[in-house]
Structure 1
Amino acid sequence: MQFEDMVSISAGPSQLIAALCDEIGLEDQINRSLTWDPAYCKVSPGTHIKAMVINILCSGHPCLDGRQDRTGPVCACR
């Protein structure tokens, strides 16, 4: 791969926020505080909350489905 072929992607503050969440142990603390079944849930509650924190701090709303219009059953931002 040549230097000219490289693509730079700006991740914004999401990587820093994710690292701070990892540093304070946000996911682990939430997962220990809640009763949940890992066999039933593919994604832990801590991971969902971490995603919401990142979305709120980066975009101003907690939508997890990626829709910018903030409508639909997944998002309660209206």
Structure 2
Amino acid sequence: MRFIHMNPIRHIRCEIFRVTQDEFAEILETSQATISRWEAGITNPSLRHLRRLRAEAIQRKLKWDDQLLFSAGGRAA
């Protein structure tokens, strides 16, 4: 069994929020291109975006743990 490691931001978008990059960008008040750069590891979200991300998850009553920002979910492939 091999594991696929996902970028933490992509993991949060896909597995926690379950939204597209466009929808995630709207939630975080940024652009889809910025989300793409975060997921590709080209740039990192600002502290303002991370705070908004956490607040949105809590407001939407999504399962949230700050550790999600530091490690990507490993999934069996």
Give 1 or 2: higher helix fraction.
Answer: 2
Highest RCO, 1 vs 2 (Cα 8 Å, sep ≥ 6): 2
Q: Which structure has the bigger radius of gyration?
A: 1
Give 1 or 2: higher strand fraction. Answer: 2
Q: TM-score over 0.5 for the alignment?
A: no
